[in-house]
Structure 1
Amino acid sequence: MNLEVKNSPFDQEQAEQLNRLLLTMDDRQKIWLSGYLAAVPSHASPDAKDHQGEGKAAAARQVTLLYGSHTGNCQALAEEYSAKLKENGFEANVMDMDEYKPKNLKNEQDLLILTSTHGDGDPPDNALSLYDFLFSKRAPKLDGIRYSVLALGDSSYEFFCQTGKEIDERLAELGAERIRPRVDCDLDYEEDAESWWNGVLEKIGDTKDSVAQTVEKVTSITDRPIYSKKNPFQAEVLENINLSGRGSNKETRHLEIDLEGANLTYEPGDSLGIFPKNDEALVDELIKEMDWDPDLSVIVNKGGEVRALREALISYYDITALTIPLLEKIAALTDHEEFEQLVSSREKMNAYVYGRDLLDVVRDYGPWEAGAEEFVSALRKIPARLYSIASSLKANPDEVHLTIGTVRYDSNGRNRTGVCSGQCAERTEAGDQLSVFVQKNNNFKLPDDPSIPIIMIGAGTGVAPYRSFLEEREEREARGRSWLFFGEQHFVTDFLYQVEWQRWLKDGVLTKMDVAFSRDTSEKVYVQHRLLENKEEFYQWLTSGAYVYVCGDEKYMAKDVHNTILQIIKEEGKYTEEEAEEYLKELRKAKRYQRDVY
């Protein structure tokens, strides 16, 4: 497409170059570029020079944005806010907490912390160094420094936004001044995050343009929509294949999705987000139980958007994940004495929400006095589900592949199915569409140098990103060695992508592979056992510069693998426990130990 802009200041050659560049850029790159250009001094125009001077006066204090991010949400927000500041002449630095030098804290002026919480209230991996420094005796007094914290989390977990809460309190203890109270965001964080940001700006200074306006300007030049989490792409499903063999205890789906026309790019290690829909049968049961009018109009967001109740419950509201905040919100909507007793005890609520959904609540504690509008206003938005991408864009132009394990279980007398995995397994066929977006993950990336060896450890669907790694390395003709540890239940029914691994082994793309099928032997064997069996060679790879990747279940597999790697380092390197932990910490800081766990 030729670039055609009326009254354009560009000559024809410049216009063509600009157009070619913009077509290769994703939305974050466009936002960064716009912020960069806005901050570049212009000596050609006196008006611009005067305006620049005003901007610098307004931004007398430097703003530093630090993010601790597991899935990339905090990183994306930090980069967006940094771009907004730069557009308006402020000096803003944005940085991964792991790359930040903690001793610089005492030199900051305005400090913005954006962090998620991982696991059972732990900091994300790339926030550990700064977190440890803050709570050590080396942490300096921070008098004169202003700050604010944005915490992202999931209210279904007991330690909701714990890392953000702890950092916020610690900064205050060290003498820093809050410029805006901390905001704790649930999975549907966008509106709360925007409110926090607007409050921060009131203290830092005024802005004249928003990122939305910047994106709109870029879009008008390229004449293409920009797809993102805020504006997902409606992608057609090309293939939906059950990878699990007959008789398997699991159902693992391989989806191939068409991205043609989306102008979306991704790298191995990134994730694809899907906005799922609730099962219509479950929605109809809920409506029947509550005797609601399915055609009743309800407001679904702060912008005043209106949907029919049934459509809103299918496409907008989360009705499958119970949280303590939800129980507390709807407590006022019933006079049920037992429900009052339930919400009076956090321990009882924790026990109740496990394995139950909204239908269980309305059946257990009715009748409900509130109407549908009041009831659903307490619900949160359906959160997007993130899946590690299982393909290389170089090997599959205009496509993205996913590996999705279907969640099915029985609980409290009912059969349950995962919202998104159930939709993909039971209600999605080739030709159907899914609402998708690309989620960048800079914390799970191949080394820039393709000659560096890599060790990939994963179980079940945790093998997905390694398929993308090897497709990418095959396309790049990488010469570095690669070693895959893969675990599942049964060799015959659960060896995901077996033919592809064997082909890559034959072709030399994959150097070595060790598998663990836990249900095929009298004693259960897992990937950590294979690591120990190969501990000498594993350590040799490590000392020769190998990158180590771990993907899969955090609570069990990833925890056991982490402890096993520590044991190998301790035994093979002749280290003490503390020295082995420091060794692994340094690997993580050097991006040579990367985890994508859930």
Structure 2
Amino acid sequence: MTSNNGNKNFSALTEQQMQLLSSTASSLSKEQLIWASGFLAGLAGSVSALPIPSSAQSVQNIATQATLTILYGSQTGNSKGVANSYKASALEKGFNCNLVSMSDYKPRQLKNETHLVVIVSTHGEGDAPDDAVELYEFLASKKAPKLPNLKFAVVGLGDTSYEFFCQTGKDFESRLLALGAKPIVERLDCDVDYEASVAAWAESLNAKLKDELVPVVSSQTASLNPAASAVSQSLYSKKKPFSATLNESLKITGRDSVKDIRHIEISLEDSGIAYQPGDALGVWFNNDEALVKRILAATSTKADDKVSLAGTQLSLMEALVSKLELTLSYPGFVKSYQAATEHAELGNLLSDKAALREYLSISQIVDIVEKYPAKIDAQSLVEALRPITPRLYSIASSQAEVEDEVHLTVAHIEYEINGQVNQGGASGFLSTRLQEGEKVNVYVENNDNFRLPADPNTPIIMIGPGTGIAPFRAFMQERDALEAEGKNWLFFGNPNFTQDFLYQTEWQGYLKSGLLSKISLAFSRDQAEKVYVQDRLRENGKEVFAWLEQGAHIYICGDAMRMAKDVETTLLALVAEHGNQSAAEAKQYVTNLRKSKRYQKDVY
């Protein structure tokens, strides 16, 4: 190949070189990309022709201006995504930005900050995400410094389906205010559909900051970011999913099981998608047409009624099937539906928040409109509902073994209420409505808070009852492929051994080969007294503590509301007992495990 300058020795980058360059570019900030482009051009002897400041000038400019620090606390990756998106908008304004996970941030650094953005999610019963716990607790402690010179903004991510909506964001704001910090803009509380509100908030915040944060680079050089743009545009995402193919949906619980759990295999062929053990798969789905017809009947609307969604005209049927959330209930729908229909009985329910929460916890949208039927125009119905959001499933495979496939372990939710059968939105779609060979839109949600140890010789303890076993199947496939020598111990539980031992032959094979060092099983209904994974953890407390003292990493996957809390309580107790520690010392021991990323949770 001959280049335009006639150099016959020039050749295009190899595929490996291109992947390396793209990987490096995607991890750099805009300022770093600009500096790197000048550096590379300098190596080629043409740096003088580029309108880019020298590295010395860039460093000096950055050092003499205020820095905007963006902190994120994220359990599933949404807050990290919002933080990255906001950083991009701030960089476009030329602000000097520093993006940091709360888990990597030194709390005492707060006293040195001038401008701070906090983006944090809430999970469970108003709990902070794991990577935010240390900073969250520090701000509430006597060690927290006064912050009279700090200006801040807070974004809370949550779900109005839950009682403690965006509680962690509210807590961060109240604690910063108590320390003397001053808000730049009003706190933003985000529901599951947050893209538009975050964009408006970012625009408002940047307008407030423009006179306080002097741009680092000119608008001309700030636009020079072709490498980062190329990388970002090549990746599939929540907004740009990949149209994958369902290869298999197989029930893996027994005929008499109280659970219907499916092993799902999806082809990613030709996508170039890469994922790591610990990541999740986002799955977009359509609602059941039979469910939609029930809603149409209860609201006296018609399938071909025309409605407008995000500026697009479509039929009500299409909107309800593919655009709007129908299987998760939330107070906002009840409030809007009642206002549009003036249903008196529903108004009484709205006045009792506790009763409303309890009712919504067991009811889908269809249950609400069938119990409180009323005529409503199609557009008002659409506006009362929120957009459909993809469901995240822990990935149950390693690409080291399955290559261009991705496997999931899905609990098919199906139950009868008022003589009608209800299904989960995504679980019903994957388990019964989507046929093998049909398409499903998916994307990978990275989870850097749930990763195997970098050293393959490090022992790991995995606690995952029910479908919580999914990421540990991926962990074992990965360690098997890498011929890792670290010990592996699984704690697994479900109702019955004969009906609910998920991937039984695989685990027995790993045990036989020696890859799995130990397995502790808790089948709750196989004896008179129910036994759970936390009971097995307690029984093996001495050995568990010994593994931890040997450097083991411990992982929990599954139910956040009950199981994960019970396991952590048991973990604290066994550390205190077998480590001869006080309750306070045991808590610090577990905190240190979390800080060193040796205690990780993937809970929902």
TM-score (ref. length: structure 1): 0.91
Amino acid at match of 1:331: Q
Q: More deviation in 136-145 or 251-260? A: 136-145
Amino acid at match of 1:322: S
Q: Does structure 2 conserve the Cα–Cα contact (< 8 Å) formed by 1:299 and 1:306?
A: yes
Out of 38, 45, 58, which is 2:34 matched to? 38
- Corresponding residue for 1:169? 174
- Corresponding residue for 1:48? 52
- Corresponding residue for 2:13? 16
Q: Answer yes or no: is 1:271 the counterpart of 2:280.
A: yes
CA distance in 2, matches of 1:441, 1:514: 26
- Corresponding residue for 1:255? 264
Out of 89, 93, 105, which is 2:98 matched to? 93
User: SS at the partner of 2:400?
Assistant: coil
- Corresponding residue for 1:564? 570
CA distance in 2, matches of 1:50, 1:309: 58
CA distance in 1, matches of 2:132, 2:276: 23
User: SS at the partner of 1:49?
Assistant: coil
Identity %: 42
- Corresponding residue for 2:408? 402
CA distance in 1, matches of 2:373, 2:569: 48
User: SS at the partner of 1:288?
Assistant: helix
1:21–1:156 CA distance, 2 compared to 1 (3 A): farther
- Corresponding residue for 1:226? 235
1:178–1:208 CA distance, 2 compared to 1 (3 A): farther
Amino acid at match of 2:107: P
Q: Does structure 2 conserve the Cα–Cα contact (< 8 Å) formed by 1:390 and 1:402?
A: yes
CA distance in 2, matches of 1:154, 1:290: 25
Q: Does structure 2 conserve the Cα–Cα contact (< 8 Å) formed by 1:246 and 1:493?
A: yes
State the 1:362 CA deviation: 2.6
Q: Answer yes or no: is 1:245 the counterpart of 2:254.
A: yes
State the 1:225 CA deviation: 4.6
Q: Does structure 1 conserve the Cα–Cα contact (< 8 Å) formed by 2:62 and 2:96?
A: no
State the 1:56 CA deviation: 5.0
Q: Does structure 1 conserve the Cα–Cα contact (< 8 Å) formed by 2:257 and 2:499?
A: yes
- Corresponding residue for 1:435? 441
- Corresponding residue for 1:193? 198
User: SS at the partner of 1:555?
Assistant: coil
- Corresponding residue for 1:133? 138
Amino acid at match of 2:325: D
- Corresponding residue for 1:500? 506
- Corresponding residue for 1:334? 341
Q: Does structure 2 conserve the Cα–Cα contact (< 8 Å) formed by 1:149 and 1:164?
A: yes
CA distance in 2, matches of 1:166, 1:80: 23
- Corresponding residue for 1:65? 70
CA distance in 2, matches of 1:79, 1:194: 12
State the 1:454 CA deviation: 0.4
User: SS at the partner of 1:64?
Assistant: strand
Q: Does structure 2 conserve the Cα–Cα contact (< 8 Å) formed by 1:84 and 1:209?
A: no
State the 1:384 CA deviation: 1.2
Q: More deviation in 526-535 or 232-241? A: 526-535
- Corresponding residue for 1:309? 316
User: SS at the partner of 1:455?
Assistant: strand
Residue-by-residue CA offset, 1:444-477 (whole Å, 9 max, x unaligned): 1000000010011110110000000010011111
Residue-by-residue CA offset, 1:280-307 (whole Å, 9 max, x unaligned): 1011111232232322332222xx2333
Aligned length: 589
- Corresponding residue for 2:44? none
CA distance in 2, matches of 1:319, 1:225: 32
Q: Does structure 1 conserve the Cα–Cα contact (< 8 Å) formed by 2:30 and 2:222?
A: no
CA distance in 2, matches of 1:226, 1:459: 33
Out of 543, 553, 564, which is 2:559 matched to? 553
Residue-by-residue CA offset, 1:21-70 (whole Å, 9 max, x unaligned): 55578899637466631355846346333998799589932011111110
Q: Does structure 1 conserve the Cα–Cα contact (< 8 Å) formed by 2:459 and 2:553?
A: yes
Unaligned runs of 5+ in 1: none
1:28–1:216 CA distance, 2 compared to 1 (3 A): closer
Residue-by-residue CA offset, 1:251-297 (whole Å, 9 max, x unaligned): 11111111112221111001001012111101111123223232233
- Corresponding residue for 1:287? 296
CA distance in 2, matches of 1:11, 1:177: 61
User: SS at the partner of 2:159?
Assistant: coil
1:404–1:38 CA distance, 2 compared to 1 (3 A): same
1:215–1:293 CA distance, 2 compared to 1 (3 A): farther
Amino acid at match of 2:512: K
Residue-by-residue CA offset, 1:126-184 (whole Å, 9 max, x unaligned): 11110111111221111121111111001000110000011112212222121221111
Residue-by-residue CA offset, 1:225-255 (whole Å, 9 max, x unaligned): 5310110111101111111122111111111
Q: More deviation in 176-185 or 327-336? A: 327-336
Q: More deviation in 387-396 or 290-299? A: 290-299
Q: Does structure 2 conserve the Cα–Cα contact (< 8 Å) formed by 1:455 and 1:483?
A: yes
Q: Does structure 1 conserve the Cα–Cα contact (< 8 Å) formed by 2:35 and 2:52?
A: no
1:244–1:147 CA distance, 2 compared to 1 (3 A): same
Q: Answer yes or no: is 1:203 the counterpart of 2:208.
A: yes
Unaligned runs of 5+ in 2: 39-46
- Corresponding residue for 2:43? none
Amino acid at match of 1:319: L
CA distance in 1, matches of 2:5, 2:88: 24
Amino acid at match of 2:517: T
User: SS at the partner of 1:516?
Assistant: strand
Q: Does structure 1 conserve the Cα–Cα contact (< 8 Å) formed by 2:94 and 2:222?
A: no
CA distance in 2, matches of 1:285, 1:496: 35
State the 1:216 CA deviation: 9.9
1:101–1:176 CA distance, 2 compared to 1 (3 A): same
1:276–1:572 CA distance, 2 compared to 1 (3 A): same
CA distance in 1, matches of 2:63, 2:5: 30
Q: How does 1:415-454 map to 2 (within 5 A)?
A: 415-454=421-460
CA distance in 1, matches of 2:17, 2:387: 36
CA distance in 1, matches of 2:275, 2:341: 48
1:217–1:447 CA distance, 2 compared to 1 (3 A): closer
Amino acid at match of 2:351: S
Q: How does 1:67-86 map to 2 (within 5 A)?
A: 67-86=72-91
Q: Answer yes or no: is 1:478 the counterpart of 2:484.
A: yes
1:575–1:192 CA distance, 2 compared to 1 (3 A): same
Q: Does structure 1 conserve the Cα–Cα contact (< 8 Å) formed by 2:495 and 2:523?
A: yes
CA distance in 2, matches of 1:61, 1:273: 38
Out of 351, 361, 365, which is 2:372 matched to? 365
CA distance in 1, matches of 2:490, 2:220: 48
State the 1:326 CA deviation: 2.0
State the 1:347 CA deviation: 2.5
Q: Answer yes or no: is 1:462 the counterpart of 2:472.
A: no
Q: Does structure 2 conserve the Cα–Cα contact (< 8 Å) formed by 1:59 and 1:90?
A: no
1:25–1:217 CA distance, 2 compared to 1 (3 A): closer
State the 1:378 CA deviation: 2.3
CA distance in 2, matches of 1:252, 1:504: 22
Q: Answer yes or no: is 1:116 the counterpart of 2:121.
A: yes
Q: Answer yes or no: is 1:346 the counterpart of 2:353.
A: yes
Amino acid at match of 2:345: E
- Corresponding residue for 2:41? none
User: Root-mean-square deviation (CA), in Å?
Assistant: 3.1
User: SS at the partner of 2:525?
Assistant: coil
